[in-house]
Structure 1
């Protein structure tokens, strides 16, 4: 049963007991009748299924994050990439915000700012990175639901607007040749670059490539494992799609010295950040390591390979992902010329 308590100020505090039997405060009011009414209403709400303590949602996200992080790290579910996203984008934005006050509007506005260019005051992140940042943040809020702190997740089915997916950076063959030439005294790094651009492998797929998955005679490799930045191995690549990829002859020549029987992995490097610092930054590419994979797709399409085949070779979840490269395919000039013949000839 609800009750009231008079304070030294003369105001009245409305009190009630929650489902756990602990006394809870329904608020402070000038009149005893109002305090009792509010406490009675709160007690009634507390008896309903799915009730959550309203005070729990007042916890700041940063406080909840410390508890959530401990659970994630104990379960080895927080990758180095996720930790970086938390440190650089999530914690600065949400650490002082109460959990219950986070709205879908706030999350949308934050996501838009992450994707906006730096000139416009944003973070300049790619569409896929923005979605990953929001996914990590959403994971923390879903955990708050499991903990019965929140009733809903404001990130659920947010339906973020797509970013500029038609801008794909790739390197010319001449540019790649210059990169390889600069690495002539670093054969393993040269081979790593060659296989990423010549076979379209993601960094983790390249790092997780095993010698027994490489058939130099048939010039085929199988992408079946991914090695994380910390050296641990996942059994499946992104999208859980194991795939076979042809190896161009020039790539075979580069990787052959490193495909050795008894060796656990073809390449020893696992940390892309270190490779970016030690190798990639000295090549003055003006792009990202992942642009080597974009280059692979671009060269295939520019050479007339069907987009469905490119999608399969890259291990995309669907052909829609590959369609971001569609504008790079060679235009059928003969067909266009035939259709758009000179109208002056008719006159």
Structure 2
């Protein structure tokens, strides 16, 4: 039995001593098992769970589109697990997604034209092709940060001046194909030229040749005072302003609920 499995069993015993109901125990175990799986993908473990791990997990859940209510429930479970570990500090002051009164009436923030020009100038000035390609892909294809991190070279298809990216939509498992506009395609081509001819691995990698994590890209974007959500919102808003049908915008953005897409046409958005 691995260490995480042992921890989960001991956690279950501790919950029994706390006189929790069977349903509550199963819910807690399931949530901690998912956390364990997430940690394993990052060569981490429950035994060495840190404050930074919990914060990164909350941010990944938000990137995956989990609601504020769902994230709060998961956080509450991790807080109980921290009590079991007798390490309350690992869940102290964790930032979480704010609850919205009505998600369908919330006008998303997006970049104005002058803000976009300024951002791209700042990014390009640093002469980092990878980071420039990341910003262009987020801004011009609307991929979620979690989706971007999971892209492989094989997900990009380029034929002359036409390019597409195939995205795995983690909000339902459906794939979607999104055109890559010529401005972004030019940058992406330059970035792809830095790879060996037959390379088919992760699209965005670290200096150690590891797939970039959502956390590392968030840190990079903070340098430019921008977040991936705002870039994605800008992509959606641009499509609406260009007159694309709302159903097409929903498909390109990977929205399972068209009401989410309709936020971009709310008067004053």
Runs of 4+ in 1 over 4 A off after TM superposition: 67-74, 77-82, 85-88, 137-140
Larger helix proportion of the pair: 2
Structure 1 CA distance for aligned equivalents of residues 118 and 263 of structure 2: 27
The alignment partner of 1:290 has SS state of helix
Structure 1 CA distance for aligned equivalents of residues 77 and 244 of structure 2: 39
Q: What pairs with 1:323-334 in structure 2 (closer than 5 Å)?
A: 323-327=262-266
Unaligned runs of 5+ residues in structure 2 are 1-15, 43-51, 60-64, 79-99, 207-211
The answer for the alignment partner of 2:156 in structure 1 is 214
The answer for the alignment partner of 2:231 in structure 1 is 292
Q: How many residues align?
A: 203
Q: What pairs with 1:1-347 in structure 2 (closer than 5 Å)?
A: 56-57=19-20, 71-74=33-36, 76=37, 83-84=54-55, 129-136=67-74, 162-163=102-103, 165-184=105-124, 185-217=127-159, 218-224=162-168, 237-259=170-192, 260=195, 261-268=198-205, 270-277=212-219, 279-285=220-226, 288-327=227-266
- 1:249 deviates by 0.4
Of structures 1 and 2, the one scoring higher in RCO (CA 8 A, sep 6+) is 2
- 1:132 deviates by 2.9
The alignment partner of 2:20 has SS state of helix
The answer for the alignment partner of 1:147 in structure 2 is none
Structure 2 CA distance for aligned equivalents of residues 300 and 215 of structure 1: 22
* C-alpha contact (below 8 Å) 2:103/2:260 kept by paired residues: no
- 1:303 deviates by 1.4
* C-alpha contact (below 8 Å) 2:154/2:201 kept by paired residues: no
Change (3 A) 1:239 1:82: farther
The alignment partner of 1:220 has SS state of strand
Structure 1 CA distance for aligned equivalents of residues 56 and 129 of structure 2: 33
Q: TM-score, normalised by structure 1?
A: 0.49
Change (3 A) 1:329 1:310: farther
The answer for the alignment partner of 2:91 in structure 1 is none
Unaligned runs of 5+ residues in structure 1 are 1-52, 89-126, 141-159, 225-235, 331-347
* C-alpha contact (below 8 Å) 1:223/1:244 kept by paired residues: yes
Structure 2 CA distance for aligned equivalents of residues 68 and 214 of structure 1: 36
Change (3 A) 1:138 1:275: closer
Q: TM-score, normalised by structure 2?
A: 0.62
Structure 2 CA distance for aligned equivalents of residues 72 and 300 of structure 1: 36
Change (3 A) 1:329 1:316: farther
Change (3 A) 1:172 1:87: closer
Structure 2 CA distance for aligned equivalents of residues 85 and 316 of structure 1: 24
Structure 2 CA distance for aligned equivalents of residues 327 and 190 of structure 1: 31
Alpha-carbon deviations, 1:173-213, whole Å to 9, x = none? 32122112112212210110001110001112112222222
Change (3 A) 1:202 1:128: same
- 1:315 deviates by 0.9
In angstroms, what is the RMSD of aligned CA positions?
3.9
